[in-house]
Amino acid sequence: MKVRDCMCNNVTWVKPNDSVCNCAKLMCDNHIGCVPVCNDAQNIVGIVTDRDIILRSIACDKDVKSTPVSEIMTCKVCSCTPDTHIDEVQDLMKKNQIRRIPVMENNKIVGILTLGDLAANPNINNEEVTNTLENICNCNKKNAE
């Protein structure tokens, strides 16, 4: 199975100069946990997660209304294409300890694939999804020690 069979096509994204507050509101309004950061040409330049907002802005006492997302975003973004095989994406998730991967085509964002998307798909082995999540959690525990 390919990423295109599971990914979410409706992607909400922000620009680097958008405020952290605006980004958080978009996440809340759209019930999502991450937002890609794209330039005017829709090339991805970063990604902001709900965790980034907490750890890199709120915990650091930054003013979320004036702080641009470019100051808190993760710049090194792991991505895939619509034709990437699901097994390969799960390996990327394990290796990079991530639950969400932007889907890129011709250097433009065309979707997002989350671990939740994989878990909700009846055609994907739930044991594999559980294994991916366990690997992500175990890596995080090791890093916390």
Q: Quick: pLDDT tens for 50-73.
A: 999 999 999 999 999 999 999 999
pLDDT, position 83: 97
pLDDT, position 78: 92
Q: Do 101 and 8 touch, CB atoms closer than 8 A? A: no
pLDDT, position 143: 42
Q: Among candidates 83, 99, 104, 80, which has minimal Cα distance to 1? A: 83
pLDDT, position 136: 66
Q: Where are the alpha helices (DSSP H) in the chain?
A: 20-30, 50-53, 86-96, 115-120, 126-144
pLDDT, position 71: 96
Q: pTM for the complete prediction?
A: 0.81
Q: What would be the CATH architecture of the domain defined by 3-144?
A: Roll (3.10)
| First vs last C-alpha separation in the chain | 36
pLDDT, position 99: 87
Strand, helix or coil for residue 5 = helix
pLDDT, position 139: 55
Instruction: Point out the residues of the chain with pLDDT beneath 50.
Output: 140-145
Helices 126-144 and 86-96: crossing angle in degrees, nearest 10, is 10
pLDDT, position 6: 92
C-alpha 36/C-alpha 14 separation (Å) is 6
Q: Do 64 and 24 touch, CB atoms closer than 8 A? A: yes
